[in-house]
Amino acid sequence: MTKNVLISGAGVAGSTLAYWLARNGFKSTVVERSQGLRSSGNPVDVRGPALPVVEAMGVVPQLRDAATTSKRIRLLRGDGRQVATVNMPAAKGNEVEIPRNDLATILYEAARDDAEFLFDDTITALRQDEHGVDVTFDRAAPRRFDLVIGADGLHSTVRRLAFGPERDFVRPTGIYVATTPFSEPVDQPEDVLIHNTPGRLVALHPSRGNGGVAFIFRADVAGFDYRDMAQHKRIVTSAYAGVGWRVPELLDRLRDAEDVFFDAVSLVDLPSWSKGRIALVGDAASCVSLLGDGSSLAIAGAHTLATALATDGGLARYEAEHRARVTPKQRTVKLAAALLVPKTRLGLATRNLAARVWPFDL
């Protein structure tokens, strides 16, 4: 029985996995590159297969306390007039929309007494044999573990070290996302305001307390570096040049912001999520993040992995069960992109017309 587990990444998947491994008799160490929990990112939904997991963790009250105040999406023209209204899934019952950083914090607080957390460190080398994995860290002394799990996101270090370079498994969709929070509330605390032009979307989100802005757009970016914030700001500014509504004001906020999230929307597709005693979970294994499903799938996948490791099925059972959830979601990414960021004026007009004559829920 594998008992001593290293988890790379203290985000949604990593903290959930540490919590459930402890309840299945495992000892976990979680290593996180950041000095603390990150503050950026979009609001995400906790729904579907994630709901029974967070209910069993006893964190639903905390999630509801931290939930966003949004109830609907309002699609707007450049002059601010409303085109259509779309109901938010979190307004329909048990589902919760919550800022990603708050979700990660709540899950970390649930798990922190059950695992060792090493912040401001990362894995630099992995060497496995039939009995375990020798791990070299950037700062901590080398250690040996029975199993290593990469829960370290789209740009996974574990995946790169154990499976191969990112270009072999990550398929960009041609869509980029940039977000930054405000230091004050928005004017309409229950409405997400969205303005589109062909290939571009800008959204004002009320979040919880203070609002924020998201830029989601199609682009062909050469030499993209996901860690270069100055480059990110230049890319967004160039992509939205000449767009009306409140975009000039929002671009000024982005240029002045110190807390900016920016990345390419991508699909992660591997033939197997494990190699010997090294495995992947969450976005590192199967990124599908565009309409908020990534966090829910990360929670469900982490729970499935922890449970499977305590059975004879192990990693094979985990992958079989969780792929059945992930694969249908990955197939809908193109449709989600067409709804959010239509490429053409005709596509945008068709989306808006459909929303007017047949109001739908996301």
Q: In whole angstroms, what is the distance from residue 125 CA to residue 31 CA?
A: 13
Measured N-to-C along each axis, helices 100-111 and 293-309 cross at an angle, to the nearest 10 degrees, of: 20
Task: Supply φ then ψ for residue 331, to 5 degrees.
Answer: -70, -20
Instruction: Evaluate the CA torsion angle 158, 18, 37, 42 in order and state its sign.
Output: positive
Of the candidates 91, 90, 38, 69, the residue with the CA atom closest to the CA atom of residue 207:
69
Q: What is the mean pLDDT of residues 33-37?
A: 84
Strand partners, 202: 195, 215
Task: Supply φ then ψ for residue 275, to 5 degrees.
Answer: -145, 100
166: helix, coil or strand? helix
pLDDT for res 39: 59
Provide the strand spans (E) within 138-199: 143-145, 147-150, 170-181, 191-197
pTM over 0.85: yes
- Among 15-24, 26-35, 205-214, 228-237, where is mean pLDDT lowest? 205-214
pLDDT for res 35: 85
CB burial of residue 134 (10 Å; 0-12, 13-18, 19+): middle
Chain segment 165-178, per-residue pLDDT in tens: 999 999 988 999 99
Chain mean pLDDT for the chain: 91
pLDDT band for position 331 (cuts 50, 70, 90): confident
Q: In whole angstroms, what is the distance from residue 189 CA to residue 94 CA?
A: 20
Task: Supply φ then ψ for residue 299, to 5 degrees.
Answer: -65, -50
298: helix, coil or strand? helix
Q: What is the mean pLDDT of residues 296-315?
A: 95
pLDDT for res 162: 98
pLDDT band for position 40 (cuts 50, 70, 90): low
Q: What is the mean pLDDT of residues 105-116?
A: 96
Cα–Cα separations (whole angstroms), residue 18 to 57, 107, 206, 303: 12, 10, 31, 9
pLDDT for res 360: 53
CA atoms within 13 A on the CB side of 23: 17
Q: What is the mean pLDDT of residues 196-218?
A: 92
CA 240 remoteness from chain centre: 24
Of the candidates 238, 242, 214, the residue with the CA atom closest to the CA atom of residue 224:
238
pLDDT for res 288: 74
73: helix, coil or strand? strand
Task: Supply φ then ψ for residue 168, to 5 degrees.
Answer: -75, -20
For residues 225, 340, 322, 316, the Cα torsion angle rounded to the nearest 10 degrees is -40
Q: In whole angstroms, what is the distance from residue 237 CA to residue 277 CA?
A: 44
pLDDT for res 313: 86
pLDDT for res 330: 84
Q: Where are the alpha helices (DSSP H) in 167-309?
A: 229-239, 247-256, 283-286, 293-309
- Among 33-42, 234-243, 299-308, 339-348, where is mean pLDDT lowest? 33-42
pLDDT for res 195: 96
| Maximum C-alpha span of the chain | 65
